[in-house]
């Protein structure tokens, strides 16, 4: 499927496949929203755990991979937080609010 033009192929976890138009990736859409709202990219923080989040991690520098994220996300993330069931999102938010970025 990756050979077909205009498609973005990814997976949020190992047992599924996601096929979208290449402009429908999370990172591209979030960048457009931020620009429209006049929010600088360095004021945005993204969190994710699957390959469908990869475009956000390459688009925005402030990124948290969940502790249970796939290795490819952990490799490009600026920070790694705890796993989902151990309140990883909340812990990342507390780090942001405490100025630890």
Q: What is the value of pTM for the model shown?
A: 0.79
Give a yes or no: residue 47 inside a domain: yes
Residue position matching structure tokens 């990814």: 10
* Domain-embedded: residue 2: no
For residue 27, the enclosing domain spans 7-97
Residue 88 falls inside a structural domain: yes
C-beta separation of 51 from 27 below 8 A: no
CATH of the domain at 82: 3.40.50.1000
Compute CA distances 40 → 1, 12, 75, whole Å: 34, 27, 24
Sequence length of the chain is 101
Q: Give the total number of structural domains in the chain.
A: 1
- For residue range 63-72, list pLDDT tens digits in order: 999 999 999 9
Do the domain assignments include residue 1? no
Residue 24 lies in a domain: yes
Q: What is the pLDDT of residues 42-55, one digit of tens each?
A: 999 999 998 889 99
Neighbours of 88 (CB within 10 A): 21
């Amino acid at each position: 499927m990756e050979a077909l033009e205009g498609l973005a192929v990814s997976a949020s976890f190992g047992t599924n496949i996601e096929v979208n138009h290449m402009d429908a990736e999370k990172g591209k859409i979030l960048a457009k929203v931020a620009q429209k709202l006049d929010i600088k990219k360095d004021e945005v923080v993204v969190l994710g755990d699957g390959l469908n989040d990869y475009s956000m991690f390459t688009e925005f520098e402030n990124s948290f991979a969940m502790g249970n994220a796939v290795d490819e996300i952990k490799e490009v993330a600026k920070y790694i937080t705890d796993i989902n069931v151990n309140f990883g999102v909340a812990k990342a938010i507390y780090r942001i609010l405490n100025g630890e970025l």
